[in-house]
Chain A
Amino acid sequence: MSFFAGEPDRLAQFRAGDRDVLSDVYRHYVGPLSRVLRQGFSVTTPERVLHVPGLSSLHEIECAGQEVFLRAFQPKARLGYDGVRSFGNYLFRIARNFRIDEFRRRGLVVSGIPVEDLNVPDAILPVDQQLVSNELDAMIKAFLSIVPERDRRYMGLRFEGGLAQTDAAAELGLTRIQGRRIEARMKLGLLSYLRERGYRGGRS
């Protein structure tokens, strides 16, 4: 369902470039867009199927995603979105065209590209990424098992319970600032913990 389905006011604000609505759209779609950019695209032409490979590094993905959002949020693009079609697919088409443009700049000819919709990528990670994720998950669990109870509970409320900082902190009788400090300390602590154990992400 479109982010704007049944929300005519939101659509009008989006078209007007309302900062809060643009922020909501960004936060809603940055994850799926990142997945699309990571997995790449397949484009069927009359002659062949062309695979535009995905980007491998998160830094590259963030840079590309920024450009895609910038294009999608331009006034002309905002007005060009009808609010009926899936905004995700609209965004992913921009992403695909952006990547194809890059290939064209390199002199690779891509012609006859159809305009079929792209689907929101599955939340299931590819096998290799799933393995990395599983290993990392085990290490994170081990890390959380040795931190203070209050901090562990806060992190559970935040990221398993999906609560905002303010709400997670309030559950524990803390202020948002205190919650934020716990969160920063825990994240930095996790990075130190992982490095001490030779963690290298997905790299050998």
Chain B
Amino acid sequence: MSCSDSDRGRVDRAVTEGLESGEWRALRGHLSACAACASEYEDASLAVSQLEGHAFEPTDSAREALLYDLLSALEGKAAHASLLHGTDVTAPTSLWRSAALVASLGVVLVGVGAVLVGPGLGRSDDPVSESGLTARGATEASAGFSVFCLRPEDGSATVIDAAESGGGRAAACRQHDRLQFTYSVDARLTHIGSLALVALGPDGERAWYWPRPDETLPVSSGARQVALPGSFELLDRHQPGRWTILGIFAPASLSRAEVEAHLSGPELSDDHPESWLTTRAVVIVSDDVVGGHE
């Protein structure tokens, strides 16, 4: 696998003259998913930083772009601009380990959607319905998750789209894409210790991500955009349509039965039980017509 000419061009511009903010963030996401382009970035950065007199450090243009992202994050302009490094995230395969890096970057949705949406796949601006659960808005959310739609290509994976829990737009994915998650928990929520993730399909069917039958998902307060291990293929059971992914943060590990009881409760709400926090994101799954995985 090699870095395409257009991606290499973006890499070169990133380390020499700089990119616009959205393109820069999209490139950062791509670098985490594409080893070939990451190597190009490494080589180009090394050469230019050496020319600039500070070898093995970020180039001048990269510094300025990173600084811009940093200040934006501090000022709350990009709630998820936190670029949490995630190289140590455990994932099933190297392919998805790379994808975990993408997720852990907390790529800003605008940047991802604007640049990485594949051919034939439109962005979904489908607003999240407010029926059923009362989703916590991004500004109110004290705990939440992001879901990234990844498409395997040539041994790597490209971020196709993403959605934030409590956000206003859905992520558009195709069957056989893969989902990956990051989570954040406000440091003040010291009682939070686990996360359950389950998707509700168009006909009310369930797709369980966490807990797995033999594995729970501990989380930590104060975490920001921490990538969850592994990724989940949108298999055929993810029928086309709207899938609402619920993230349930709770003090202790939850069993599926407990989550199911919560989902089936007569008055499902964010604050039931009191110490649980429920938030959600929407993924629109389309037929795998273009992908040819049949």
Q: Number of A residues contacting the other chain (C-beta, 8 Å)?
A: 57
A21 CA / B38 CA spacing, docked (Å): 32
Q: Which residues of A contact B (CB under 8 A)?
A: 17, 19, 22-23, 26-27, 30-31, 34-35, 38, 55, 57-67, 69-70, 73-74, 98, 102-103, 105-106, 125, 129, 132-133, 136-137, 140, 155, 159-160, 162, 180, 183-184, 186-188, 190-191, 194, 199-203
User: Taking the nearest CB of chain A, how far is it from the CB of B96, in angstroms?
Assistant: 16
- On whether the beta carbons of A203 and B39 are closer than 8 Å, the reply is yes
The answer, yes or no, to whether B124 is at the interface (CB within 8 Å) is no
Given contacts A31-B57, A201-B42, contact A188 B16 (CB under 8 A): yes
Residues B50 and A137 in contact, CB atoms below 8 Å apart: yes
Q: Is the interface of A mostly helix, strand, loop or mixed?
A: helix
B56/A136 in contact, CB under 8 A: no
The B interface is mostly helix, strand or loop, or mixed, namely: helix
Does the CB pair B105–A63 fall under 8 Å? yes
CA distance A78 to B160 in the complex (A): 37
Complex CA gap A26/B69 in Å reads 12
Residue positions of B touching A, CB distance < 8 A: 12, 15-17, 28, 31-32, 38-39, 41-48, 50-58, 62-63, 66-67, 69-71, 73-74, 82-90, 104-105, 220, 226
A34-B58, A201-B42 known; A140+B51 contact, CB < 8 A: yes
Closest to A103 in B: B88
Are B71 and A23 closer than 8 Å at their CB atoms?
Answer: yes
Give which listed residue, B16, B43, B44, contacts A184 with CB less than 8 A: B16
Q: Please state if A59 and B46 are interface contacts (CB–CB under 8 Å).
A: no
Docked complex Cα distance between A124 and B23 (Å)? 34
A55 touches B87 (CB 8 A): yes
By the criterion CB–CB under 8 Å, are A105 and B53 in contact? no
CB nearest to B73 among chain A residues: A70
User: Which residues of chain B are near A188, meaning CB under 8 Å?
Assistant: 12, 16-17
Q: Which residues of A contact B58 (CB under 8 A)?
A: 30, 34, 58, 61-62, 65
Q: Cβ of B54 and Cβ of A59 under 8 Å apart? A: no
Q: List 13 A-B contacts (CB under 8 A).
A: A30-B66, A34-B57, A59-B31, A64-B85, A67-B83, A67-B85, A133-B56, A140-B51, A155-B51, A180-B17, A183-B17, A190-B51, A201-B39
